[in-house]
Amino acid sequence: MTDRLIGFIVAAGTGLLLGGQLVIAAERIDFLDTNSNRTVYIIVDPKTRRFDTYDTNSHRTGWGTITQESGAVKVYDKDGNRIGSGKLPGPGVKR
C-alpha cells in the first residue's frame, strides 16, 4: 500500500513539474512531509523521459517513464513491477 501511495505521489509530482516543456537537465525533486522532512525524492532525466525514485536514505526504490506525446506516466518498483500510472496535465492547465 505504501509503495502504491509513493508511486502515485511520484506520478503526480512529475506531472506537475513536467506539465510544460521537457527542456531542463536532470532535475532532483524532493517531496516533504508536513514537518518539512524529506520523505522521498526523484531524479528526472528529460532526455530519456525516465525518472528514478529514492527513499530518505538514498536507496533506489523504483523508476518510471514519461511519454511526451500522450502525457502518460508509468511508475515501477525496483523489481520492475508496475505500481502506478497517471497523465501529465496539458500545457494550458493552470497550477
Domain membership flag for residue 94: no
Mean pLDDT to the nearest integer, 29-43 = 89
Instruction: Report the distance separating Cα 31 and Cα 37, nearest Å.
Output: 8
Least Cα distance to 78 among 3, 2, 1 occurs for 3
25: domain range? 2-87
Based on the structure, what is the number of domains in the chain? 1
Query: Band of the pLDDT at 2, cuts 50, 70, 90?
Result: low
* Higher per-residue confidence, 72 vs 22: 72
Per-residue pLDDT at 52: 93
Instruction: Report the distance separating Cα 36 and Cα 51, nearest Å.
Output: 23
pLDDT tens per residue across span 38-90: 888 999 887 888 999 999 899 999 999 988 777 788 999 999 999 988 887 76
Tell me the whole-structure pTM to 2 decimals: 0.63
pLDDT greater than 50 at residue 22:
no
Amino acid sitting at position 56: T
The cell numbers describing 50, all together, are: 525516465
